[in-house]
């Protein structure tokens, strides 16, 4: 099973004016970059041409997570 690791940088200003950037690695190779802003999530796969992101708004992400995701129990 691949090993995943995430690096991130948080800008020193309010969210919305600058994204929070997560770089996701799979087996020590860049898997993709997730950019989080107030308006949307942008996913940029490592092999994306011209770093063109896939964008999803928070409302659509909420619906996607509820439809495709699964609930986990909080650790006690």
Q: In this predicted structure, what is the pLDDT of residue 14?
A: 72
Q: What is the pLDDT of residues 53-76, one digit of tens each?
A: 999 999 999 999 999 999 998 875
The answer to whether position 30 is within a domain reads yes
- Report the number of distinct structural domains present in the chain: 1
Class of residue 19 by CB neighbours under 10 A (exposed 0-12, middle 13-18, buried 19+): buried
Query: Whole-model pTM?
Result: 0.77
Domain residues for 51? 4-68
DSSP one-letter code for 52: P
Q: Residue 75 falls within a domain, yes or no?
A: no
Q: Give the integer Cα–Cα distance in Å for 50 and 61.
A: 24
Q: Does residue 74 lie in a domain region?
A: no
Q: Is residue 59, in this structure, part of any structural domain at all?
A: yes
Interval 22-53: pLDDT, tens? 999 999 999 999 999 899 999 999 998 888 99
Residue 18 lies in a domain: yes
Cα three-residue angle 1-43-21, rounded to 5 degrees: 95
């Amino acid at each position: 099973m691949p090993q995943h690791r995430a690096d991130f940088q948080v800008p020193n200003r309010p969210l919305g004016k600058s994204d929070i950037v997560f770089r996701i690695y799979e087996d020590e190779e860049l898997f993709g970059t997730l950019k989080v802003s107030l308006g949307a999530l942008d996913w940029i796969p490592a092999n994306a041409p011209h770093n063109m992101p896939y964008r999803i708004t928070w409302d659509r992400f909420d619906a996607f997570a509820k439809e495709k995701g699964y609930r986990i129990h909080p650790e006690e």
